[in-house]
Structure 1
Amino acid sequence: MDLGLKGKVAVVTGASRGIGERIARSLAAEGCRLVICARGEEALRGVAGAIERDGGEVLALPLDITAPDAPGRLVHATLERYGRLDVFVGNAGGNRRKPFVETTDDDWEAILDLNLKAHIRTSRAVVAPMKAAGGGAILFVASIFGREAGGANLSIYNTTKSALISVAKIMAVELAPYNIRVNTVAPGSIRFPGGSWDRRCKEDPEGMARFVAQNIPMGRFGTAEEVADVVTFLVSERASWVSGACVNVDGVQSHSLI
């Protein structure tokens, strides 16, 4: 199936490893020209090098997406390099895991900035060039814990991911007249090298085997590639009638009915 992405310009944040890296590489494989960003310059350059070795075209831009001037810098660099912007994937995110009563204002502000406000600011910046291009696609990487309760010690993470799904829905309504689609994906427990699930599996393989047996009906952790495949479809021309949706990528781990 031709996804209609060849020659499109895509921006991916948090692209130095894991899900963000695989999204970038999947989009490049479909013919997108890329701008990737993350705070870790060395790892980001490594991803860019891998994309280029596979024949892709990519600009690596080390930056902290939570900085107030980051969205403007990102869009300016994209337009200067390619002259257009068609796809924005907001993948950057993180967590400060602790009991609610122990969370601080700094904890909340830091994760709100990273998981929500950075996506909002960058989305505002990409809308104008997308309108100029005749349309586009915005996609946020949320979590199944934005659709349902994530359990103890996840008050900040749960709140920010729920908000991300919510704002995407309203953005989809408002941007529909401009042919700009907005969606989210909600990954479940995804294992990739260097990630938190990978670390836990190495530290406690028996405990993680029990976790999988109790929580993931498909019997294994998901992969970053599996998330990337869904993202690539959703930002493509083949998903032209999909907007305002949140798609679970979780091996039936989640329990929400909607």
Structure 2
Amino acid sequence: MNQTPAQRQSGYGFTGKVVAITGGGSGIGRELAARFVAEGAKVVINGRNAEKLADAARAIDPGGESISILAGDIAQPSTGSALVEAALTRFGKLDILINNAGVFNPKPFLDLSEGDYDWYLDTILKGKFFAAQAAARAMKDTGGVIVQTGSMWAIQAVGATPSAAYSAANAGVHAMVRNLAIELAPYKIRINAVAPAVVETPVYRTFLTDEQVKEVLPTFNSFHPLGRNGQPADVAEAILFLASDRASWITGTVLPVDGGVTAGRS
């Protein structure tokens, strides 16, 4: 969804805030970075591909005054620490962490290898765990907000997309949110998660060709009671709300952003 900064402006009150975003080079993360910058925030985006991050940063803020990049694999705890340090060094503080990085590649349970298992757990669960820890250490004297991207697949199994390891990793993310909400509340740090269903992002091109994406993704429109797949802006809007002061009395929740999937089937 190509919106101008004026169209993106929605008054969430992020002027002067400093935000770190994992998985910020494309999809939901890139949409979020654009929205935060449009609303006056300073942003550091992380991802594994430095070139993709640089392209995103130039498109969002050509002058580079409000955005910085930190390339690195979030599965390594040192990357989460480096991301937080980058925000502190460049912009002087950290107010919000959006733990958005993830991976997805459906594979039957009986075919999953230990390597597959580690890939999901390291990127999705360990990555979010240690990035959140680094952020919380930076926020403990000033307060702050952490929003995790979880998954509808951690709430409801889908036979068409077998994903036991992926779902287990995201279930851990959901459990982490509830536990950290209690532990971090004394520091005035809120933490929540969103749980999206099928969202049309570049992640599907990591295991499908462009032609397969064009053929397969539309078949999931009817999977959602609202009749369409999600777009990055749909999820970004929910994350912006949870990151804002409008959600100042919400912590420890997992919000399905799923077109009605977890409500049931018509």
* TM-score with structure 2 setting the length: 0.88
CA 1:17/1:209 → structure 2, altered by over 3 Å: closer, same or farther?
A: closer
Percent identity, aligned pairs only, is 34
One-letter amino acid of the counterpart of residue 126, structure 2: K
Between the aligned partners of 1:10 and 1:222, the Cα distance in structure 2 is 24
Note closer, same or farther for the CA distance 1:127–1:175 as it changes in structure 2 (3 Å cut).
same
2:112 is aligned with 1:103:
yes
Which runs of 5 or more residues in structure 1 are unaligned? Answer: none
Aligned residues: 254
- Alignment match, 1:36: 45
SS in 2 for 1:183: strand
Residue 168 (structure 1) shift: 0.6
**Match in the other structure for 2:88:** 79
Tell me which of 170, 186, 204 is aligned to 1:177.
186
Q: C-alpha distance in 2, partners of 1:5/1:245?
A: 21
Aligned positions of 1:9-28 closer than 5 A = 9-28=18-37
Contact 1:190 1:197 in 2 (8 A): no
C-alpha separation in 2, matches of 1:253 and 1:241: 26
Residue 254 of structure 1: CA displacement?
2.3
Q: Distance in 1 between matches of 2:119 and 2:216?
A: 31
Question: How far does residue 210 in structure 1 lie from its aligned partner after superposition?
Answer: 4.4
1:244-255 correspondence to structure 2 within 5 Å? 244-255=252-263
Instruction: Tell me, in whole angstroms, the C-alpha distance in 1 between the residues paired with 2:63 and 2:235.
Output: 20
Match of 2:204 among 196, 199, 202: 196
- Report the Cα distance in structure 2 between the residues aligned to 1:245 and 1:79, rounded to whole angstroms: 27
- 1:146 aligned partner: 154
Q: Name structure 2 gaps, 5 residues minimum.
A: 1-9
Structure 2 equivalent of residue 242 of structure 1:
250
Counterpart Cα distance in 2 of 1:106 and 1:234: 34
Looking at structure 2, the residues matched to 222 and 140 of structure 1 have their Cα atoms a distance apart, in angstroms, of 17
One-letter code of the match for 2:25?
S
Label 1:203 to 1:32 Cα distance change in 2 as closer, same or farther (>3 A): same
5 Å matches for 1:221-240?
A: 221-240=229-248
| Number of the residue aligned with 1:220 | 228
Deviations 1:163-217 (A, max 9, x none): 101111110111111110000001111113x34289688437676544322x112
* 8 Å CA contact 2:77, 2:131 repeated in 1: no
Equivalent residues of 1:96, 1:107 under 8 A apart: no
Partner of 1:116: 125
The letter of the residue matching 2:100 is: N
Distance 1:69 1:233, change over 3 A: same
**Distance in 2 of aligned mates of 1:253 and 1:172:** 26
CA distance in 2, matches of 1:101, 1:41: 35
Q: Please say if residues 201 and 208 of structure 1, whose CA atoms lie closer than 8 Å, have aligned partners that are also in contact.
A: no
Does structure 2 conserve the Cα–Cα contact (< 8 Å) formed by 1:71 and 1:122? yes
Residue pair 1:22, 1:225 contacting (<8 A) in 2 also: yes
